[in-house]
Structure 1
């Protein structure tokens, strides 16, 4: 059984009378917790996470979220989601051990990797985590040998447009393969409890692919029922993003299709789960970077080159895993009023590969200026390589007093909370920073 480590407590700075951006600016001038005053750092906004969790539940009332730990494996975020009632999707032994240390209950954990290392499989069994995913005969036989009492979700193939097959080329059984696997599992006396698919993250309206995948899942539910093995779990995977302009259209389609194919009247006990990652993590973190160098190339199209203490071997590597528009703000309004020019941003590693942005219009910056990047939670520190010794290591946790009330209202009853809240009171120096 997973047990809670009662010694773990996370300090959260609460605030009122200002906003999140000003809190970020404040920490740039107060380097407690950083090795060097000009080191980059993250701000984790517990209030943003709380509002996103509330939004998710309101948009998908039949669906229970199992947060994808890989997206941002930050302990305070995981603990907050645990206290809000989320489950967790783990893909490795390390992630299993991480959620165990935090005290997540085994029934709130799923191993969604269809091809598991045997030692990782044994760890899941030791922790009592029984809900696992498979998509082929070899994995099924492996599970029979090493975890015969596991509860299995069969991952099915999804249709993808274009030449690049991001998910379907690696994972997922076709409908005909899935039927054979279900019969094989029955012969092996393995407990297949449901169906799993994963659409993945995109910017378009994914309604069509959800409709097709849910239709395929329904075919397997019907097939399994005809063969005397009624299914109990439907996992619709991840891929939804909170700041996607098509979010509500996609979710409306999901809810409509769920009720059409899996009506509550016929499936009153069906457990529908999902694997949100970026939905919760992306906008919950802001990254602060410092301008550590500057060069000028007068007479060229990009006269100003700036060097940051984070780059494409660190936090910005996440842009390759999940392409998105970078949004930023500066230390003060006075910086924004400076004359602008085409600029290039480099990371700190000594290679031309470490280029953050090739061409961007910025006010003229000076060494020591701060740039704050919004929406830098998803895969940012998760993908950081720490190459050459660079990489953001410092985090600050904040929540507004208004959001704190919402968090406390949504918290599930617990004898022990992970969080200690401390009121942030700006002194005269910090007030001047915020007003500059």
Structure 2
């Protein structure tokens, strides 16, 4: 595949560099003002190794909607991962990197007609359905499709529940759909479910797999030859989380209900692969001291920081993914901790990133880091109010480079070798020359002593007013 100048190269770090040194190098360069990401593809590789170790029988089909960054898709493709696509655009993006259509499942249970026609034209045959009208659409528009019936089995605790929108009742509706599919002459090849994104209820997988076993038996009785079990998503991926308990439940349930290898088991992990791989760096462009104590009007009670990314950009995850973020000041500070809030750059009052957090006093231009920002952030980000979506810098260590440099669709041209932080600071694209996006015009700020203010001291612009006699 030809790599264009619009793509970001994968910078191979030397032994002295890591994600944080790259962030410091870019943020301290003096030319960087916009928010930016650093993507560590080594984190994705490590997640894949964990998946294969914990769930050896389950083939991952990455949920493209979670983060459709091109480098993410290329790395996962190089690792042999399949893809869960929800639209013709996502299908095109995966096919565009040279992936065979057999490695795609069209896992949107309710698809526009034009998207079904497109899937048929592109040879994407495996697709889900959870209602009668969808079966009739598929029969009309893609009669040779391999249909997977999606059932509902909700986790009691999930970051984003999905059952209220998708999935048929496994006891009453699913058998009826199997009979309708038989009447229509469709080819039902399996059963799928999705317990909810960010599942915190591991036993739900056992319940869902048992439902699937019953429906497999019914499908066999009806003359189908089902061979595909899709476990959906729900696997956590943030730093400090683990899929161990979920994997234990799944492995035991598969042994109980599907003990032989004649059933192909897949799943649709999204955040598991990318959540911890992306780190976001934001800078403080404005700041406001709040003094609300009437008994001490000169004392700062709260600090409001305004950063260059917000809920209309990367932090849409706060609204749509129910995520919690933790601000990490890049510069180590000392002094008294004070109640603070962090706000995005737009003119909307809803654009609040962190409502209340204890932080030491920070100055304009300082950077705040947010980890675990890879899931359901960039694909949903907009340029509302004209603020850009952050640029993504991609890094890897030498061992990851050696593993992936010849793994299709990656080639050696995707990588840059050398003292990476120095080149990253310049914002070079894959051609190595385009620096336009990094030539930010400087802002002449007031002297630091005028910008700095101590939360405990009386600011120079506060005065006491007293009544005086009229001067004749």
- TM exceeding 0.5: yes
Match of 2:262 among 252, 269, 275: 269
Q: What are the within-5 Å matches in structure 2 for residues 313-328 of structure 1? A: 313-328=312-327
Distance change >3 Å, CA 7–CA 311, structure 1 → 2: closer
Q: Secondary structure at the match of 1:116?
A: coil
Q: Secondary structure at the match of 1:292?
A: strand
Is 2:94 the partner of 1:99?
Answer: yes
Q: Secondary structure at the match of 2:369?
A: strand
Q: Secondary structure at the match of 2:316?
A: helix
Q: What are the within-5 Å matches in structure 2 for residues 48-67 of structure 1? A: 48-67=43-62
Is 2:129 the partner of 1:131?
Answer: no
Which residue of structure 2 aligns with residue 434 of structure 1? none
Which residue of structure 2 aligns with residue 225 of structure 1? 220
Is 2:194 the partner of 1:201?
Answer: no
How many correspondences in the alignment?
A: 413
TM-superposed CA distance for 1:172, in Å, is: 1.1
Is 2:2 the partner of 1:6?
Answer: yes
Asked if structure 2 preserves the Cα contact closer than 8 Å seen for 1:315 and 1:391, the reply is no
Which residue of structure 2 aligns with residue 376 of structure 1? 373
Larger Rg belongs to: 2
The RMSD of aligned alpha carbons is 2.4
Is there any run of 5+ residues in structure 1 with no aligned partner, and where? 431-436
Which residue of structure 1 aligns with residue 398 of structure 2? 401
- Which one has a larger percent helix, Structure 1 or Structure 2? 1
Match of 2:185 among 182, 189, 205: 189
Distance change >3 Å, CA 42–CA 281, structure 1 → 2: same
User: Partners in 1 of 2:228 and 2:314 — Cα distance?
Assistant: 36
Normalising by structure 1, report the TM-score.
Answer: 0.89
User: Partners in 2 of 1:395 and 1:276 — Cα distance?
Assistant: 22
Q: What are the within-5 Å matches in structure 2 for residues 406-417 of structure 1? A: 406-407=403-404, 412=407
Match of 1:180 among 176, 185, 197: 176
Which residue of structure 2 aligns with residue 298 of structure 1? 291
Asked if structure 2 preserves the Cα contact closer than 8 Å seen for 1:302 and 1:344, the reply is no
Asked if structure 1 preserves the Cα contact closer than 8 Å seen for 2:77 and 2:409, the reply is no
Asked if structure 1 preserves the Cα contact closer than 8 Å seen for 2:158 and 2:197, the reply is no
User: Partners in 1 of 2:155 and 2:17 — Cα distance?
Assistant: 45
Asked if structure 2 preserves the Cα contact closer than 8 Å seen for 1:286 and 1:376, the reply is yes
Asked if structure 1 preserves the Cα contact closer than 8 Å seen for 2:327 and 2:368, the reply is yes
User: Partners in 2 of 1:370 and 1:415 — Cα distance?
Assistant: 33
Q: What are the within-5 Å matches in structure 2 for residues 39-188 of structure 1? A: 39-161=34-156, 166-174=161-169, 175-188=171-184
TM-superposed CA distance for 1:177, in Å, is: 1.5
1:103-155: CA deviations, max 9, x gaps?
11100111100010111111111111111000111000000000001111000
Q: Secondary structure at the match of 1:70?
A: helix
Which residue of structure 1 aligns with residue 250 of structure 2? 254
Distance change >3 Å, CA 109–CA 392, structure 1 → 2: same
Asked if structure 1 preserves the Cα contact closer than 8 Å seen for 2:340 and 2:356, the reply is yes
TM-superposed CA distance for 1:13, in Å, is: 1.0
User: Partners in 2 of 1:361 and 1:415 — Cα distance?
Assistant: 44
Asked if structure 1 preserves the Cα contact closer than 8 Å seen for 2:192 and 2:229, the reply is yes
Is there any run of 5+ residues in structure 2 with no aligned partner, and where? 294-299, 426-472
Asked if structure 2 preserves the Cα contact closer than 8 Å seen for 1:79 and 1:418, the reply is no
Q: Secondary structure at the match of 1:318?
A: helix
Asked if structure 1 preserves the Cα contact closer than 8 Å seen for 2:160 and 2:198, the reply is no
TM-superposed CA distance for 1:327, in Å, is: 3.2
User: Partners in 2 of 1:415 and 1:242 — Cα distance?
Assistant: 24
User: Partners in 2 of 1:289 and 1:413 — Cα distance?
Assistant: 34
TM-superposed CA distance for 1:162, in Å, is: 8.4
Distance change >3 Å, CA 404–CA 317, structure 1 → 2: same
Asked if structure 2 preserves the Cα contact closer than 8 Å seen for 1:154 and 1:178, the reply is yes
Normalising by structure 2, report the TM-score.
Answer: 0.82
Distance change >3 Å, CA 158–CA 52, structure 1 → 2: same
Asked if structure 2 preserves the Cα contact closer than 8 Å seen for 1:196 and 1:236, the reply is yes
Distance change >3 Å, CA 322–CA 299, structure 1 → 2: same
